[in-house]
Copies of this chain bind each other. A is one copy, B any other.
Amino acid sequence: MDRERLFALLERFARGELAREELAEAIAVAPFVELGDARVDTQRALRVGFPEVVLGTGKSVDQIVRIARALAAAGQNTLVTRVTPDAAAALRTELPEFEYLAPARLAVLRQQPIALIGRGPIAVVSAGTADSPVAEEAACVAELFGNKVERVYDVGVAGLHRLLASLETLRRATVLIAVAGMEGALASVVGGLVAAPVIAVPTSVGYGVSLGGVAALLAMMNSCASNVTVVNIDNGFGAAYVASLINRA
């Protein structure tokens, strides 16, 4: 339950459309739903402003379905990340109301309208074409969390003219997400070009001593640009989450 829904309930109660008992019941649900192997946090939106999101990796389809159903039953928008096409098909067999955003590997159920709550646009900047699944995860999640998103893709630092062609877009953003594999240098260069905070997302794109993204992560952790912080490899969701928090201020 998020604050909007709580306020709506309270107003309906004030207008006499909801009995005292019904209100109590709606509020008094436990702060989590016990599923045996999962305790689903159905009131996170109320506490932190965004509903709980299900990380699809490492869970069986059955587990995903049960958790998604519990979250969906709480009446809020529901998001599952890292959903493979096969898992998406299985999920939609059980819960056909879910939509699958293939380039971003997201399964989404929109039950509430999404209002624009950000102070300004979030720019998602990516280094190469192969980084686009992670960049799209970040961009779509940021949009689902109520932000305007500007995509600036395939602007790796070995071709600075491609990046500088979008300089105005970068400078307009209130927060930036820099997505890059291989040497991960994009975060530092973008960080030096703007005054806003930059959230760096290393990706597992590369080969050899890219070490599955560790090289990019190390580069980003060592950035000489002071406005850069870092999230885990391929964690487009986490970057979008924090960017939304910052943009909401």
Interface residues of A (CB under 8 A from B): 31-32, 35-39, 41, 44, 47-49, 53, 57-59, 63, 67, 119, 127-130, 132, 153-162, 165, 174, 181-185, 187-189, 191-197, 199, 202, 204-235, 237-239, 241-242, 245-246, 249
Contacts and interface: CB of A to CB of B under 8 A. Distances in A.
What copy number does this chain have within its complex? 8
A219 B48 contact: no
Given A58-B130, A207-B232, A227 B215 contact: no
A158 B188 contact: yes
B235 A119 contact: no
Contacts of A215: 215, 218-219, 221-222
Given A208-B213, A245-B197, A249-B119, A183 B37 contact: no
Contacts of A224: 127-128, 156-158, 182-183
Most buried by B among A155, A159, A195, A202: A159
A210 B165 CA distance: 31
A85 B205 CA distance: 21
A130 B59 contact: yes
A160 B241 CA distance: 20
Contact of A238 (B181, B217, B226, B235): B226
